[in-house]
A and B are shown apart, each in its own frame.
Chain A
Amino acid sequence: MTEQIDAGMVARRIAESDRLGSPDPGREIGRARRRKEDARLITGRTLWTDDIQLPGMLYVAFLRSPMAHARITRVDTSAARNQPGVAAVYTGRDFAAEQGSLPCAWPVTEDIVIPDHPPMAVEEVRYVGEAVACVVATDRYKAADALEAIEVDYEPLEPVLDMTEALAEGSPKVHEAGNRSFTWKFSGGDVEAAFRDAPVVIERTYVQQRLIPTAMEPRAVVATTDGTAFTLYSSTQIPHVLRVMLALTTGIPEHLLRVVAPDVGGGFGSKLQVTAEEVLCLLLTRRLGKPVKWTESRSEGNLTVHHGRDQLQRITLAAERDGRIRGMRADLLADMGAYLMLVTPGIPILGAFMYNGIYKMDAYDFTCTGVFTTKMPTDAYRGAGRPEATFAIERAVDELAHELGMDPVEVRRRNWITHQEFPYTTIAGLTYDSGNYEAATDRALALFGYDKLRAEQADRRDRRDPVQLGIGVSTYTEMCGLAPSRVLGSLSYGAGGWEHATVRLLPTGKVEVVTGTSPHGQGHETAWSQIAADAMGVPFEDVAVLHGDTTVAPKGMDTYGSRSLVIGGVAVLQACEKVKDRARKLAAHMLEASPDDIEFSGGTFSVRGTSAGKTIQELALAAFAAHDLPEGFEPRLDADVTFDPQNFSFPHGTHLCAVEVDTETGMTKIRSYVAVDDVGNVVNPLIVEGQVHGGIAQGIGQALFEEAVYDSEGNLLTTTMTDYLIPSAADLPEFVTDRTETPATSNALGVKGVGEAGTIAATPAVVNAVVDALRPYGVRDVRMPCSPERIWRAISESGGAAAGWAGPTEAEGGER
C-alpha cells in the first residue's frame, strides 16, 4: 500500500503547484482557474430547457411502441381527445405529409442503405420506444393521463436482435432492403504477406456492449413561433448543425429558425443528434400556433436517447516471437439499431483509423458491416468509435504478451512509435504530429509502483489467495479535433469541421468572445476567457463568452469529438490576433508612428524605444468615438475567424489499473488507478483534470457496470437506474493523475483536446487488469461489463472453481 500513498502525494503536489497559478506569472494560459460558470451552475441560477415557461404553453407526451417490431393496424385517439385539458392528439399518419425523414448526414459508402425514418411511426414500428402518437395538453400530467386512453392495434412481426443472425439467410428483415446497411473497407500494406508464416497469430472476438448515455440533464425541447419565425430551445450539443438539419427536414426556412441551447447538462454524444422530438415539437408549434414543451423522463430517455457502442469485433494480430507486430486485421459488425440517425454509420468508421493504436506495423486491414436490428439506433457516445478500437488493440496486445510470456509493457515498448520518429504516418494513413509514449509510460509506471505490484501479484498467486491482484495497462492515442473539412469530405461526411469565433472589443475595453462551440459542461467560458485574456492583454474578468444561440452566435460546428479547444479555441486566438492587428494600426495612427514600430505587451501598444503608448482600453474608446481614425479605417475593433484545421490532434497517454478480484464472489474492486495523459499544452489544468476524472469514470462504467439489455422479444430491460448501473464516486478509487506535455505542432496553441481521453483509455486498462487477475485460472477474456457473476462463471468454467465452493450447476449455465 505504501507506493499508493506515495503516488497520491506526488499527484497532490503536482495538483497543488498547478493551483498556485500559472508557471508563468501574469499568463492566464496554464492557470488552474476555477470555472467561472460553476458558481451559477451549482447554486441553481441556471436555465435548463425544462425551466423555460412561455405564455400559453402546451405540453407534449409521446405514446411509444411496446413492440420491437410490428405493423400498426389501427390507432384510435378519440377517447384521448376527449380527456380534460387535451388540446390535440396526433398519430404518425397525421404528420405523414410533413414530418419528413430524420436525417443521416454520414452515408459512408455509395451503396449504403438509408431507410426512411419518420419521426413518428406511420405503418411499422421497429424498436420498443418508437413514437407512434402524441398528446398535447395544458399540463404534463393531463398529457400523460391521455396517453393511456389511446388505443393501438399492432400486428406483431419478428424482432431482429442479433447481428450475426440478422445477416444470415432467411432472417426476418428490419427493412425491406434487408439487414445490411453497408460494408466499409480499408486496407494498408500487404496483409496477406504479414500473416503468411507469421510465428504468432492472436485471434480474439470482443463484444462492445450496448451502452446508454446517461447525461445528468434529460433531454427537453421547447418550440415556439410568432406565426412567421420559429425558435427551438433544446438540450442539445449542436444548435448550429440542428438549425441546418431542421430547416432541411421541416422546410422551415433557415433564416426564420433560431435554435437555442440554453444551459445543457451533459451530452457525451447523446445530444449530438437531430431527434424525432425536436422535429415534432417544431411541427406541433407550427400546427397549433402555441408554444410546446417536451421533457423526457429517465426511463423514456433510457429507451429513446440514442445508444452507444454495440459492436462485435474480430481482431487478428500477426507477430514475431520477439513481440514485434507484423500486421493486424479488424473485422467488425456494428449494430446500427433500427434506423440510421445523424452520424450512426460513421461511428465505427471513426475507429477504423485507430485499431493500430500507437504501434508500428507493416499491414492493416479493416472491414465493418453496419447491421440493422429492431433496437434503438446507436450513434455517438463519448469517444465514438475510438474507444472500441483502443479496447480491441490494447486487449489484443495484452494477449500477445501473455502468449509470448512477456511483460505487457515490454511488448508495447517494442512496437510503439518512438518520440524521435514523429511526425509519423501510420499504416492507417494518419500522420501523428507529436507524442512521447516513453515519457508518459515511464511516469505512469513510477507513480503506480508497477514492480512492487507485480511482486505482490506473484505472492498472491503463490499463496492461492482468494483475492487475486490484476494489473492492466492501456497505452492509447486518439484522433481528436474533428476535423479537417477535406478529410471529412473524403469520408463522405455531410459537413465540414471548421469552427468560428468572433472577438469584439467593446467601447469600455471589455472583450466579448462569440464561439461556435456549444459547451454543455466543458468549461469553455473559462478556457476561452483565459485564451482571450492573454491574447488581448486584458484581465480574465474582462472577457465574456457567448455561445449556444444561433442568433447570438450564428456560425458554428458545435461541440463533440474533443474538437472545441483544438479548433474553436484556436479560432478565438486567431480572432484576437486579427483584432490586435486593427488595434495596432489605430495605435500607430494615434501615436504618429509606423505600425511596424508598434510593440504590444501587457495590453499596451507602444512605440518601440519610447514610453509613448496606448492601452487597449484607450483604443477601444477611440474606435467607438471614431473621431480620428486612419484613412479608410472602419470604426470597429472586432474580427471573425473561421478556422479549418489541417490535421487531427493526437492526445495520448498511459493508464495503469490495479484490481483486486474476489474469486469467491467474482467481485472486482479497483485498488489503484494511475493516468498520465499527454494532451499537449494545457490551458487550464483544473479543467483537464476534471475531464480526465469524468472520462475514467465513464470508461470504468463500460468495463464493470453498464449494459443496455434487451430480452428475447426486444424489450429493453434496463429502463431505470436500478437496472442500468452507472458508477458513482463511492464506487471509484482515488485517481492519480499526471501529465506529460508534448505540444501539438498542428495548431498555434499546441493543444490536443481532452474530452474523450479518459473514457478511451480506461476501459481496456480495467478489463486487462481483470483478465490479468484471472490468468492463473486459465481465463483469457471476460465479457463487458465484467460483472461479478460473469467473473465467477469465467473462473468456474475454466475449471478453477474458487477453492472449496462449488461452481454453477449444469442446469443454470448460460451467458449473463
Chain B
Amino acid sequence: MIPAAFDYVRPASLEEACHVLATTGEEAKVLAGGQSLLPLLRLRLAYPSVLVDLGRLPELHGVQDRGDHVFIGALTTHDEVMRSPVIREHVPLVALATATVADPAVRHRGTFGGSLAHADPAGDLPAVALALGCVFVTRMTGGQREIPASDFFVDYLESALDPGEVLVGVQVPKLGAGWGFHYEKFHRTAQAWAIVGVAAAVRTEGGAISEARVGLTNMGSTPVRASAVEAALRGAPSPAPDGNGASNGGHDPVRDACGEAADDTSPPADLHATSDYRRHLARVLTYRAVRAAST
C-alpha cells in the first residue's frame, strides 16, 4: 500500500497544466480528488512518473446555469454537486446519483470530472451522463474538444481523452417539463460500489410514457444505454403509483419493457455477483427505477 516514487507538479493555470502534460506525455497522470487514482498507485497498479495536480485551477471549479444546460466544472466535488441548488433544480438526476457515491469523506474529495474521466463502469455517474446525453468539454495545448457522452466511454477504465487532454467540465442538458428522474443503486453496504445501478429519466404525457432514457451502471465494460428498454417503453401507460405489478405477475407493459434491460449487455462477474445475477438485477431495478421516475 505504498506507491512507487513519482514527481508532483501543481500548475497555476490550465495552460500550464496542458503544457506540462504535453511535454511529459503518457508518463504523466492528472490528479483531481485522488479517490480513484491514489488507490491504484498504492496498490502499485499504476506507475505514473508525474502527477499533475489540478487542484488550484479555479476555471475547472463550480456549477453554472447556462440556459439550455448546466455546466459542471470537472473539479467540482461530489459533495458540492449534490448540494448545488442549480443541479438539484435543473438536472436532479445528477444530484440523486451523486448522493449515492461512497461516503461523505470520499464525496468531499472526489470530483465530478474525475469520476467520469476515470471511466469506471461501476461508477454511478457515467451511466447518468450517458442517459442524459451530456457533452464533455476538454482542453489540450493548442485546442479544445466537445465529446458527446455516447463517444466518451471507450472501454473499461478507458475514456476518449487523449494523454495530455484535460476534462474542463461537462454540459448536462436540461430535459425540461414533464420529466421525472430516479437513480436506483443496488449495493450490499452503504458505502459500497453499485453491484448494478440504473439511471432513469422518464417523460410522461397524458398517462403514458412519451420518452425514456435509461443508463446502466456496472453492466459491461462501459456504462450501458438500455436502448431496447427505452424503445419498448415509448407509449406504455405510465405505471400506477400504488399498483404492485411485481407481486401479481399480471400483464404490465412497463414491466415487460424493463424485462429487456439486460439485452445485449455483458456484465462482469465478481465476488459480489455473477453475471447472471446482474442481468436479473438489471431487469428488476430498471422496473423500479422507471416506476419511481414516472411518478
- Which A residues fall within an 8 A CB radius of B? 140-141, 144-145, 148, 297-300, 463-466, 664-665, 667, 705, 709, 717-718, 722-723, 725-728, 730-731, 787-789, 792-793, 803-809, 811-812, 814, 816
Nearest CB of chain A from residue B4's CB, rounded to whole Å: 6
Query: Per-residue CB proximity of B1-40 to A under 8 Å, as 1/0?
Result: 1101100000000000000000000000000000000000
Could you say which of A463, A718, A807 contacts B247, with CB atoms under 8 Å apart? A463
Would you list 29 pairs from A and B whose C-beta atoms are within 8 A, ordered by A residue? A144-B2, A145-B4, A297-B42, A299-B43, A300-B1, A466-B244, A466-B246, A466-B247, A664-B284, A665-B186, A665-B281, A722-B192, A722-B193, A728-B190, A730-B189, A788-B195, A788-B277, A789-B272, A789-B273, A789-B274, A789-B277, A792-B280, A803-B246, A803-B247, A803-B249, A804-B245, A806-B280, A808-B277, A816-B277
Question: Is B107 among interface residues, defined by CB-CB distance under 8 A?
Answer: no
Query: Per-residue CB proximity of B243-268 to A under 8 Å, as 1/0?
Result: 01111110000010000000000000
* Contact A731 to B247, CB < 8 A, known contacts A141-B2, A297-B2: no
Instruction: Decide: A804 and B246 in contact? CB cutoff 8 A.
Output: yes
Question: Is B159 among interface residues, defined by CB-CB distance under 8 A?
Answer: no
Instruction: Decide: A808 and B189 in contact? CB cutoff 8 A.
Output: no
The 9 closest A-B pairs by CB, nearest first: A297-B1, A730-B190, A812-B276, A804-B249, A144-B2, A789-B277, A803-B249, A664-B284, A731-B189
A90 to B281: give the CA distance in the assembly, Å: 51
Nearest CB of chain B from residue A483's CB, rounded to whole Å: 36
Instruction: Taking A141-B2, A725-B189 as given, write out 16 further A-B residue pairs in contact, using a Cβ cutoff of 8 Å, ordered by the A residue number.
Output: A140-B2, A299-B1, A299-B43, A464-B247, A665-B284, A728-B191, A730-B190, A787-B188, A788-B186, A789-B277, A792-B280, A793-B277, A806-B280, A808-B276, A808-B280, A816-B273
Residues on A with beta carbons closer than 8 Å to the beta carbon of B42: 297
Residues on A with beta carbons closer than 8 Å to the beta carbon of B2: 140-141, 144, 297
A789 to B191: give the CA distance in the assembly, Å: 19
Residues on A with beta carbons closer than 8 Å to the beta carbon of B5: 141, 145
Instruction: Decide: A727 and B276 in contact? CB cutoff 8 A.
Output: no
Instruction: Decide: A731 and B280 in contact? CB cutoff 8 A.
Output: no
Instruction: Decide: A465 and B247 in contact? CB cutoff 8 A.
Output: yes
A726 to B189: give the CA distance in the assembly, Å: 8
A761 to B274: give the CA distance in the assembly, Å: 31
Query: Per-residue CB proximity of B189-206 to A under 8 Å, as 1/0?
Result: 111110100000000000
Residues on A with beta carbons closer than 8 Å to the beta carbon of B249: 803-804
- Interface size grouping (class) on chain B: 20 to 34
Question: Is B275 among interface residues, defined by CB-CB distance under 8 A?
Answer: yes
Residue of A with least CB distance to B273 = A789
Residues on B with beta carbons closer than 8 Å to the beta carbon of A299: 1, 43
Nearest CB of chain B from residue A468's CB, rounded to whole Å: 11
Residues on A with beta carbons closer than 8 Å to the beta carbon of B192: 722, 725
Nearest CB of chain B from residue A467's CB, rounded to whole Å: 9
Residues on A with beta carbons closer than 8 Å to the beta carbon of B188: 705, 725, 787-788
Nearest CB of chain A from residue B106's CB, rounded to whole Å: 12
Nearest CB of chain A from residue B236's CB, rounded to whole Å: 16
Nearest CB of chain A from residue B124's CB, rounded to whole Å: 15
Residues on A with beta carbons closer than 8 Å to the beta carbon of B281: 665
Nearest CB of chain A from residue B20's CB, rounded to whole Å: 24
Instruction: Decide: A705 and B189 in contact? CB cutoff 8 A.
Output: yes
Question: Is B283 among interface residues, defined by CB-CB distance under 8 A?
Answer: yes
Question: Is B271 among interface residues, defined by CB-CB distance under 8 A?
Answer: yes
Residues on B with beta carbons closer than 8 Å to the beta carbon of A709: 271
Instruction: Decide: A718 and B190 in contact? CB cutoff 8 A.
Output: no
* Contact A805 to B1, CB < 8 A, known contacts A466-B246, A728-B190: no
Nearest CB of chain A from residue B168's CB, rounded to whole Å: 30
A768 to B291: give the CA distance in the assembly, Å: 33
Inter-chain residue pair count (beta carbon < 8 A):
88
Nearest CB of chain B from residue A64's CB, rounded to whole Å: 13
Residue of A with least CB distance to B245 = A804
Instruction: Decide: B246 and A664 in contact? CB cutoff 8 A.
Output: yes
Nearest CB of chain B from residue A377's CB, rounded to whole Å: 22
Residues on B with beta carbons closer than 8 Å to the beta carbon of A816: 273-274, 277
Residue of B with least CB distance to A139 = B2
Residue of A with least CB distance to B190 = A730
Residues on A with beta carbons closer than 8 Å to the beta carbon of B1: 297-300
Residues on B with beta carbons closer than 8 Å to the beta carbon of A806: 280
A110 to B130: give the CA distance in the assembly, Å: 67
Question: Interface centre among B186, B271, B272, by most A CB within 10 Å?
Answer: B271
Nearest CB of chain A from residue B193's CB, rounded to whole Å: 7
Residue of A with least CB distance to B271 = A723
Residues on B with beta carbons closer than 8 Å to the beta carbon of A148: 44
Nearest CB of chain B from residue A791's CB, rounded to whole Å: 11
Residues on A with beta carbons closer than 8 Å to the beta carbon of B283: 805
Instruction: Decide: B186 and A667 in contact? CB cutoff 8 A.
Output: yes
Residues on A with beta carbons closer than 8 Å to the beta carbon of B189: 705, 725-728, 730-731
Residues on B with beta carbons closer than 8 Å to the beta carbon of A667: 186
Nearest CB of chain A from residue B278's CB, rounded to whole Å: 9
A792 to B281: give the CA distance in the assembly, Å: 10
Residue of A with least CB distance to B4 = A145
A258 to B43: give the CA distance in the assembly, Å: 35
Instruction: Decide: A803 and B248 in contact? CB cutoff 8 A.
Output: yes
Nearest CB of chain B from residue A621's CB, rounded to whole Å: 53
A554 to B79: give the CA distance in the assembly, Å: 52
Residue of B with least CB distance to A804 = B249
Residues on B with beta carbons closer than 8 Å to the beta carbon of A809: 276
A297 to B44: give the CA distance in the assembly, Å: 13
Residue of B with least CB distance to A723 = B271
Residues on B with beta carbons closer than 8 Å to the beta carbon of A145: 4-5
Question: Interface centre among B5, B192, B246, B280, by most A CB within 10 Å?
Answer: B280
Residue of A with least CB distance to B252 = A804
Residue of B with least CB distance to A719 = B43
Nearest CB of chain B from residue A53's CB, rounded to whole Å: 18
A730 to B5: give the CA distance in the assembly, Å: 37
Instruction: Decide: A731 and B190 in contact? CB cutoff 8 A.
Output: yes
A725 to B191: give the CA distance in the assembly, Å: 10
Residues on B with beta carbons closer than 8 Å to the beta carbon of A297: 1-2, 42
A788 to B278: give the CA distance in the assembly, Å: 11
A464 to B246: give the CA distance in the assembly, Å: 10
Instruction: Decide: B186 and A804 in contact? CB cutoff 8 A.
Output: no
A300 to B5: give the CA distance in the assembly, Å: 20
* Contact A718 to B271, CB < 8 A, known contacts A805-B283, A808-B276: yes
* Contact A811 to B276, CB < 8 A, known contacts A465-B247, A466-B247: yes
A792 to B279: give the CA distance in the assembly, Å: 13
A322 to B195: give the CA distance in the assembly, Å: 46
A812 to B273: give the CA distance in the assembly, Å: 11
A455 to B190: give the CA distance in the assembly, Å: 30
A464 to B43: give the CA distance in the assembly, Å: 47
Residues on B with beta carbons closer than 8 Å to the beta carbon of A793: 277
Residues on B with beta carbons closer than 8 Å to the beta carbon of A727: 189
Near A by CB (< 8 A), chain B positions 211-259 give 244-249, 255
Instruction: Decide: A805 and B247 in contact? CB cutoff 8 A.
Output: no
Instruction: Decide: B284 and A805 in contact? CB cutoff 8 A.
Output: yes
A745 to B113: give the CA distance in the assembly, Å: 65
Residue of B with least CB distance to A299 = B1
A727 to B191: give the CA distance in the assembly, Å: 9
Question: Interface centre among A298, A788, A814, by most B CB within 10 Å?
Answer: A788
A665 to B196: give the CA distance in the assembly, Å: 11
Residues on A with beta carbons closer than 8 Å to the beta carbon of B272: 787, 789
Nearest CB of chain A from residue B127's CB, rounded to whole Å: 18
A664 to B286: give the CA distance in the assembly, Å: 12
A807 to B195: give the CA distance in the assembly, Å: 18
